[in-house]
Structure 1
């Protein structure tokens, strides 16, 4: 079935039902392990999903313009006039150079933190159990975020990459 036919098929609920029914029948024919009742259950679930998606789409299209207007009204003090490409380019440059100017302060803060870690490392006998537990929990949290990033990077598989 071509994409063109698929787009035409889903224009109304009755067309969608007929499409889902034909899909169910073709599933039964191609995969003998799928019974007709399973295919019909799949058809019913697809019809329910299409109905819920239509409801959600209607809800969003009804309320989105109002939400957009409220959001702009609440945050109008952040909006630069005139809202042109030139203004956006100027703001982009201001953000870049402001971030660039903040590097020395961040560098200094990083060195203060490193000095504190070196001081703690030299004086391990003064380390409290609470501080050690907090540091351990922080390390475990960093490891957990690393593992989560690896799983996401692999396409949400735990065992490995798709080959």
Structure 2
């Protein structure tokens, strides 16, 4: 057990040394590749302006998303009315979608409990 702990410490030390040596160059390269997204000058006013633009752009997109939601709901209602004509592939896709939603719900519950399966902290 002690040898595994020593190995783990050694690997962590090597990783931190690598990050220390190459982190600065990686940071500079990342900024250079994404310089079209950087606003100059980076002032509080500019950040506030960008924040407001994001908020109101999102708010402006709500009517389009609302309309798309009702179109999707009408499509599902139409499928339900004509469920006798439903193909096996469509039913399978719907079942997989429902299973995926349930799995994401379960994962969210586990994350919300602090990554414990039973909900009790050990």
Q: Calculate the TM-score normalised by the size of structure 2.
A: 0.92
TM-superposed deviation, 1:126: 1.5
Q: Which has the higher contact order (CA 8 A, sep 6+)?
A: 1
Cα deviations by residue, 1:63-108 (Å, 9 ceiling, x for unpaired)? 1111111111111111111112221111000000000000000000
TM-superposed deviation, 1:135: 0.3
Tell me the residue number matched to 1:153: 112
2:25 is aligned, of 56, 60, 66, to: 66
Q: Distance in 1 between matches of 2:121 and 2:22?
A: 41
Contact 1:155 1:161 in 2 (8 A): no
TM-superposed deviation, 1:53: 1.3
User: Structure 1, unaligned stretches of length 5 or more?
Assistant: 1-40
- Note the aligned Cα RMSD (angstroms): 1.5
User: Structure 2, unaligned stretches of length 5 or more?
Assistant: none
Runs of 4+ off more than 4 Å: none
TM-superposed deviation, 1:46: 2.8
Point out the structure with max Rg over C-alpha: 1
Tell me the residue number matched to 2:11: 52
> Is residue 138 from structure 1 mapped to residue 97 from structure 2 by the alignment?
yes
Structure 1 residues 103-122: aligned runs within 5 Å: 103-122=62-81
TM-superposed deviation, 1:56: 0.6
TM-superposed deviation, 1:151: 1.5
Cα deviations by residue, 1:14-62 (Å, 9 ceiling, x for unpaired)? xxxxxxxxxxxxxxxxxxxxxxxxxxx42x3332222211111110111
**Counterpart of 1:159 in 2: which secondary structure?**
coil
Aligned length: 122
